[in-house]
Amino acid sequence: MKMTTLGDTGLATSRIGLGLAALGRPGYINLGHSDDLRAGRDVASMEARAQVVLDAARSAGVRYFDAARSYGRAEDFLAGWLASRRIGPGEVTIGSKWGYTYTAGWQVEADRHEVKDHSLGTLRRQVAETRAAFGPFVGLYQIHSATLESGVLDDPEVLEALARLRSESGWKVGLSLTGPRQAETLRKALGVEIGGERLFDCVQATWNLLEPSSGPALESARAEGLGVIVKEALANGRLTGRNDDPGFLDRRRRLEAEADRLGATLDALALAAVLDRPWADVVLSGASTVDQLASNLTALEVPWDDRAEANLQSLQEPPDAYWTARSRLSWN
């Protein structure tokens, strides 16, 4: 697979990376998560599935892997896989995140699946946890879902601690974004300097055919040298064959017509749209099975063109409507 670098960081990445949000825990919000896990949701079954998907990704040339403290056992699964396959720190690039604590207790139906807390105490605790899991492998450490409301970009203690982490550990520092104000949050983050130096090396954001509003801000960030990682390219499964919502039928037909014309699956079409953005370094596959991964990877061959660009503009939703729909997805 074609390799590139994450902005000016020097971190190598394949154009498609693998995220472990769906692989690391038994409950998640993606549409068909429950169906995907029919073979078993106990820790051993989930670790075995993660290893199979990680092996398939590596064989296909995937070299960027995305985890977070809150993705259940994702960091441990990744660390176990790296050790068992004798993969060295220089062979892959790994990004993880701090800021949410996993609280579901390995249950699918939990009162709270994760608790968000961007305080200095959580940063210190989770840096230590990530370091214990696979410290030498970490290339990038991100604030998980930074928002204007979370206040993290106004917290000098946290920002200074991140700058110290960056200089003392060599980890690059990034932030992931969420919600209708991703662009505004990113513009604020671009202005954060510690000791006269820009703090953030990378940004991870949602951009997809339904919610492309972060695009211009991501383009500016890339122009300033940040690495750009795109997540939720499939709108949590809404841009796949799994979406049988009658309210989406008309848009699904438009997607299918374009996919047929280009000889693509729906998921590959949506991922190809991201790969076509000149500012996107890597797009994450969130595959939870080898078949999904294989289909996702065919995005690299999809001949995305101006006609697809024009024909699929009409899929877009107002950002507030998109994020409201996302917040209604149920954990399964």
Q: Which residues here bind ligand NAP, judged by CB under 6 A?
A: 19-22, 30-33, 36, 66, 97, 144-145, 176, 178, 204, 231-237, 240-242, 267, 284, 286-288, 292, 295-296
**Closest CB to ligand NAP among residues 166, 326:** 326
Helix (H) or strand (E) holding 228: strand 227-231
DSSP state of 209: S
Q: What residue is closest to ligand NAP based on CB?
A: 286
Shortest distance (Å) from residue 132 CB to ligand NAP? 20
3-state secondary structure of 185: helix
**Closest CB to ligand NAP among residues 48, 307:** 48
**Closest CB to ligand NAP among residues 122, 204:** 204
Shortest distance (Å) from residue 328 CB to ligand NAP? 15
Shortest distance (Å) from residue 97 CB to ligand NAP? 6
**Closest CB to ligand NAP among residues 202, 284:** 284
Tell me the C-alpha distance between 9 and 4, whole Å: 11
DSSP of 242-300: T---GGGHHHHHHHHHHHHHHT--HHHHHHHHHHT-TT-SEEEE--SSHHHHHHHHGGG
R_g over Cα of the chain: 19
Tell me the C-alpha distance between 296 and 303, whole Å: 14
Residues facing residue 5 across a β-bridge: 12
Shortest distance (Å) from residue 18 CB to ligand NAP? 7
Shortest distance (Å) from residue 286 CB to ligand NAP? 2
**Closest CB to ligand NAP among residues 253, 307:** 253
